[in-house]
């Protein structure tokens, strides 16, 4: 029989990949990020929350069917659009202001808020209430997820451990996509879909308790210039002024085109073009998920040998080749390697993406940068999903794949061009003379006289910066508003 007739194989192989990934660092647990007790708790919290969210995805479709019957697909699609809008609009706002509040209480509060919203869902009686609750749920997620992501590199300052942690997170995400429908199916043998919402609420509360048990690193106080609007927009501006992050954004446009092609048009490809079954649709998704998990396993070693740029740009070209492979209209057996290649390519981009963001941000600005990454990447999906659907419906899946695949190749070339070859993170740059006032400590950029009444550091008072030229690890911030070019000011 074909692999498509045995979807449970994907689940077993997925578990094998996860266990292999957790063991790949050897018997010495201290060599693994899981040897760090804080990361271990945070990773467990992430996995629990992921599984809970997967249960809600299934429950939402069943609730939508109860309320809208044959229009349930429209309801779910609209709810997901509200999800993306919440991500795109509110992640930069919360991320830009996150430095104002202690991180641990913020994460716990957002988890509890998510738990309460999900707990209300069983009481929904009209469609508009679904839209409101989904919007609120993902508004809180838009705050939680980037701040959580920005916390991990502070818990794991060693880059090799951090890279392995990103691989584990990618494995957990892909495995959740494979396992949540199965877990939901088992739960529905004993409970109604209301129980799935309750399960997700409990999952968020468990996540909050695990974070409560962690001792998170303290963050440097930050007092940005530009007022409230300047704080909200800081992350987006800084992100878009960083060349490697502009390249990352083009690579995420490629990921969005590929994942939208798979998620939106696989069911049409399998069932309309080849008359396949639901099982074969599931097998196609599993093939992409397994490709993604395999890439997550090998990515840390590839990064050690070649660095971020070659791995991620190569992933875009691999992904584009896979999508273009759909144009040949492979049959239901031949399609599985094509979907596998597509998943392999997008994971080579997504797994190290947080590492690139982390390298581009000062420690005190990480939440703003990660929030910008979160918002902009989801904006890519917000564009790609309806585009893939419209192209597939009006031109056919093969022609849609041709256009999407060509776009992916173009984005891959743009990523290669936009991302400069970097011999070092340290860049020589020049500062013009200027005076301003903000909360600061004395170090590389603050060496000035005091009158004696400024108080202990960090403190705030008007201070003057003399012109100077120097080199250090360069990030866009209040003292470095532009990326340096030859002879430019920093």
Instruction: Considering only the C-alpha atoms of the chain, give the largest distance between any 2 of them, rounded to a whole number of Å.
Output: 83
239 and 362 belong to one structural domain:
yes
Whether residue 249 sits in one domain with residue 127: no
Within-domain flag for 323: yes
Q: What is the CATH number of the domain that holds 283?
A: 1.20.1250.20
Tell me whether residue 324 is in a domain.
Answer: yes
Q: Is 100 among the domain residues?
A: yes
Is residue 207 located within the same domain as residue 288? Answer: no
228: in domain: no
Count up the domains in the chain and report the number: 3
Q: At what angle do helices 366-395 and 227-240 cross, to 10 degrees?
A: 60
Tell me if 129 is assigned to some domain: yes
Task: Report the pLDDT value the prediction gives residue 452, as an integer from 0 to 100.
Answer: 59
CB 97 within 8 A of CB 235: no
- 146 and 262 housed in the same domain: no
- Report the DSSP pairing between strands 426-431 and 434-440: unpaired
Domain edge (last residue) among 376, 394, 422: 422
CB atoms within 10 A of CB 72: 18
Residues 335 and 385 in one domain: yes
Q: How far is CA 7 from the centre of its chain?
A: 27
pLDDT at 487: 43
User: Is-contact 400 392, C-beta < 8 A?
Assistant: yes
Same domain flag for 295 and 263: yes
Residue 200 shares a structural domain with residue 341: no
Cβ-contact 326, 397 below 8 angstroms: yes
Domain that holds residue 369: 233-422
Q: Which residue has the tokens 């982390």?
A: 358
Do 94 and 242 share a domain, yes or no? no
**Pair (282, 163) in one structural domain:** no
For residue 461, give the H/E element and its range: strand 459-465
Q: Which of 184, 219, 254 is the last residue of a domain?
A: 219
pTM of the model: 0.83
The answer to whether residues 213 and 240 belong to one domain is no
Q: Are strands 468-473 and 434-440 parallel, antiparallel or unpaired?
A: unpaired
pLDDT tens digits in sequence order for the chain, 490 residues long: 333 333 344 444 444 445 545 544 444 444 688 889 999 999 999 988 988 888 887 788 788 878 887 776 677 778 878 888 999 988 888 877 777 788 899 999 999 999 999 999 999 888 899 889 999 999 999 889 998 998 999 998 888 899 999 988 888 888 777 777 677 777 777 878 888 889 889 999 999 999 999 888 876 666 566 667 777 788 888 899 999 999 999 999 999 999 999 988 888 888 878 888 877 887 888 888 889 989 999 999 999 899 899 999 999 999 999 999 999 999 988 999 999 999 999 999 999 999 999 998 888 788 889 999 999 999 999 999 888 888 888 898 899 999 999 999 999 999 999 998 875 666 666 666 666 666 666 666 666 666 656 566 666 667 666 666 666 566 677 766 677 775 444 4
DSSP secondary structure of 103-154? HHHHHHHHHHHHHHHHHHGGG--SHHHHHHHHHHHHHHHHHHHHHHHHHHHH
Residue 354 is predicted with a pLDDT of 93
Q: Are residues 320 and 388 in the same domain?
A: yes
Question: Taking a C-beta distance cutoff of 8 angstroms, is the pair 319, 44 a contact?
Answer: no
Q: Is 40 within the bounds of a domain?
A: yes
Task: Decide if 354 is inside a domain.
Answer: yes
> Does 454 reside within a domain?
no
Within this chain, do residues 242 and 367 fall inside the same structural domain, yes or no? yes
pLDDT at 450: 66
């Amino acid at each position: 029989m074909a692999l498509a007739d045995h979807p449970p194989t994907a689940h077993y192989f997925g578990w094998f990949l996860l266990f292999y990934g957790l063991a790949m660092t050897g018997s010495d647990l201290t060599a693994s990020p899981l040897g760090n007790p804080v990361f271990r708790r945070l990773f467990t919290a992430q996995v629990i929350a992921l599984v809970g969210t997967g249960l809600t995805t299934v429950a939402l479709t069943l609730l939508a069917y109860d309320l809208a019957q044959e229009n349930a697909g429209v309801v779910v699609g609209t709810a997901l659009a509200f999800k993306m809008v919440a991500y795109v609009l509110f992640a930069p706002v919360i991320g830009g202001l996150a430095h104002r509040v202690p991180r641990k209480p913020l994460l716990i509060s957002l988890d509890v808020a998510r738990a309460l919203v999900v707990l209300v869902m069983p009481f929904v009686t009209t469609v508009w209430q679904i839209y409101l609750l989904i919007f609120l749920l993902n508004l809180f997620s838009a705050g939680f997820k980037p701040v959580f992501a920005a916390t991990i590199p502070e818990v794991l300052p060693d880059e090799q451990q951090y890279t392995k942690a990103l691989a584990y997170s990618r494995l957990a995400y892909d495995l959740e996509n494979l396992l949540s429908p199965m877990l939901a199916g088992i739960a529905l043998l004993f409970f109604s879909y209301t129980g799935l919402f309750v399960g997700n609420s409990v999952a968020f509360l468990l996540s909050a308790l695990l974070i409560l048990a962690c001792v998170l690193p303290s963050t440097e106080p930050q007092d940005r210039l530009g007022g409230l609007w300047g704080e909200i927009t800081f992350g987006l501006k800084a992100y878009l002024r960083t060349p490697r992050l502009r390249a990352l954004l083009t690579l995420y446009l490629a990921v969005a085109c590929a994942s939208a092609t798979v998620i939106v048009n696989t069911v049409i490809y399998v069932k309309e073009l080849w008359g396949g079954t639901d099982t074969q649709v599931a097998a196609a998704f599993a093939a992409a998920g397994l490709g993604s998990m395999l890439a997550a396993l090998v990515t840390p070693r590839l990064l050690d040998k070649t660095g971020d740029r070659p791995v991620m740009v190569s992933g875009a070209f691999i992904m584009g080749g896979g999508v273009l492979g759909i144009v040949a209209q492979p049959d239901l057996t031949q399609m599985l390697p094509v979907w596998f290649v597509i998943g392999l390519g997008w994971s080579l981009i997504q797994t190290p993406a947080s590492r690139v963001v982390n390298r581009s941000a000062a420690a005190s600005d990480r939440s703003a940068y990660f929030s910008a990454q979160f918002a902009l990447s989801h904006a890519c999906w917000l564009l790609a999903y309806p585009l893939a659907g419209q192209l597939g419906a009006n031109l056919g899946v093969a022609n849609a794949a041709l256009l999407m695949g060509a776009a992916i190749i173009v984005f891959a070339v743009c990523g290669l061009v936009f991302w400069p070859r970097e011999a070092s993170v340290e860049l020589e740059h020049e500062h013009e003379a200027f005076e301003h006032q903000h909360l600061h400590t004395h170090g590389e950029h603050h060496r000035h006289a005091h009158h004696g009444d400024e108080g202990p550091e960090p403190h705030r008072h008007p201070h003057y910066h003399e012109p100077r030229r120097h080199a250090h690890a360069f990030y866009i911030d209040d003292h470095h508003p532009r990326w340096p070019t030859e002879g430019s000011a920093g």
